[in-house]
Chain A
Amino acid sequence: MNTLFYLAAAVAILATLLVITRAHAVHALLYLIVSLLAAALAFFLLGAPFAAALEVIVYAGAIMVLFVFVVMMLNLGTHSVRGERQWLRPAAWVGPGLLAAVLLAELVYVLGGWSAPATTPAAIGPREVGLALFGPYVLAVELASVMLLAGLVGAYHLARPQKEAEGEA
């Protein structure tokens, strides 16, 4: 079972690495979906089946479909892929990559030397999550609903036809 977790982790990291190096947006999106599915498997193995299901439905389903729709609406041609390749020169990514690698090395050093006892996690199913969500965390649910409403209003406002907006103003 442990092997499954490490395999899923390797797939997630490899797919994310491919996401950030692709020139074509659709290829990157497909690799990101693979990465999210691997993360969902890791959630399931960690004893969080409800979070795993939501990862597949909301992240890999809804959010990625939104990205795919936007990429389709933008209708990017081959010239954008060529421009993207031109932008992705080693001079552009070596500096940030090195700095991030230093940060990762520090994290590996800190977390590697820290031996927290590994407990066998019991699965926390949707029942416990739901009871906690609508018990002590009910205010967080309200805040999330307000935030989603704000996102809806903001997206509607930004996507309004422009002529109409100028006429009203």
Chain B
Amino acid sequence: MVTIPFSHGLLLAAALFLLGVICVLTRRNIIFMLLGLEIMLNAAGLAFVVAGARWGQPDGQIMFLIVLAMAAAEVSVGLALVLEWYHRMHSLDVDQASRLRG
């Protein structure tokens, strides 16, 4: 077991989360935007686990499990949307989505 300061674990989670934010903000390829969402969800889960370890309670890991289930549900629907969209638009450029009309 390690005795790292609580703030260092939170800093790791914050850095990973911000890298995910940068990925979503700068990339135009929708697959990379989904990857950025995954990075952010993973960082949130890491923050939960760090906090759970800080107080020695299993609650942090349980919230991590919920985040994990949410990431799995989100990515299945998101990738199905990407496939459907690629078949129609023949492009992964997210700017093309401005042409969508309900």
Query: Interface size of A by Cβ–Cβ distance < 8 Å?
Result: 86
Is B65 interfacial (CB 8 A cutoff)?
yes
Q: Determine if A93 and B26 form an interchain contact, defined as CB atoms under 8 angstroms apart.
A: yes
Number of A-B contacts (CB under 8 A): 237
Contact with A along B59-93 (1 / 0, CB 8 A): 11110111011111111110111111011000011
Q: Determine if A129 and B2 form an interchain contact, defined as CB atoms under 8 angstroms apart.
A: no
Interface residues on B, range: 35 or more
Nearest-neighbour CB distance to chain A for B76, whole angstroms, equals 4
**Selected contact of A115 from candidates B7, B18, B50, B54, CB within 8 Å:** B7
Q: Determine if B49 and A25 form an interchain contact, defined as CB atoms under 8 angstroms apart.
A: no
Is A167 interfacial (CB 8 A cutoff)?
no
Q: Determine if B62 and A151 form an interchain contact, defined as CB atoms under 8 angstroms apart.
A: no
A63 with B71: in contact, given A80-B92, A116-B6, A144-B65 (CB under 8 Å)? yes
Q: Determine if A93 and B62 form an interchain contact, defined as CB atoms under 8 angstroms apart.
A: no
Q: Determine if A74 and B35 form an interchain contact, defined as CB atoms under 8 angstroms apart.
A: no
Q: Determine if A121 and B73 form an interchain contact, defined as CB atoms under 8 angstroms apart.
A: no
Which residues 25-63 of B have a CB within 8 angstroms of A? Answer: 25-29, 31-32, 34-36, 38-39, 42, 45-46, 49-50, 52-54, 56-62
Q: Determine if B4 and A111 form an interchain contact, defined as CB atoms under 8 angstroms apart.
A: no
Q: Determine if A120 and B31 form an interchain contact, defined as CB atoms under 8 angstroms apart.
A: no
Is B97 interfacial (CB 8 A cutoff)?
no
